[in-house]
Amino acid sequence: QVQLVESGGGLVQAGGSLRLSCAASGRTFSNYDMGWFRQVPGKDHEFVAIITRSGGITNYADSVKGRFTTSRDNAKKTVYLQMNSLKPEDTAVYYCAAGLYPQRKGITTTQGYDYWGQGTQVTVSS
């Protein structure tokens, strides 16, 4: 089991920045690739970013590329999502997720991940 807890969400004006954190406990954090997703009411989860277990490879959705950066600190069992130049359309609940082999079912799909956090709300005002 892996328990994930997100933090760092809040209300920010357009153009501002936030940094989300996702703290893990339980099984070896460094064994898992870590993904970020977001969801708005009435819609499916949208893939945002992924970082591999070593931190060596990252991948981003086109909608956030160049604005968001994900990183991880395996010693602290924490993954981060730095969000810059935020737009109102970034408003959503943001989730982190852990997957042993997310590529088997698709890194952009929720089925690729084994464990999920509870989510943190990000609201960007115009």
| E-assigned strand segments in the chain | 2-7, 10-13, 18-26, 33-39, 46-51, 58-60, 68-73, 78-83, 92-99, 115-116, 120-125
For residue 68, what pLDDT is reported? 98
Of the candidates 82, 84, 65, the residue with the CA atom closest to the CA atom of residue 13? 84
Q: How far apart are CA 112 and CA 72, in angstroms?
A: 19
Q: Is residue 27 scored above 80 in pLDDT?
A: no
What percentage of residues in the chain have a pLDDT greater than 70? 100
Q: How far is CA 69 from CA 44, 62, 111, in A?
A: 22, 12, 23
For residue 26, what pLDDT is reported? 83
For residue 58, what pLDDT is reported? 97
Give residue 1's pLDDT band: very low, low, confident or very high (50, 70, 90): confident
User: What does the pLDDT look like over 39-55, one tens digit per residue?
Assistant: 999 999 999 999 999 98
For residue 73, what pLDDT is reported? 97
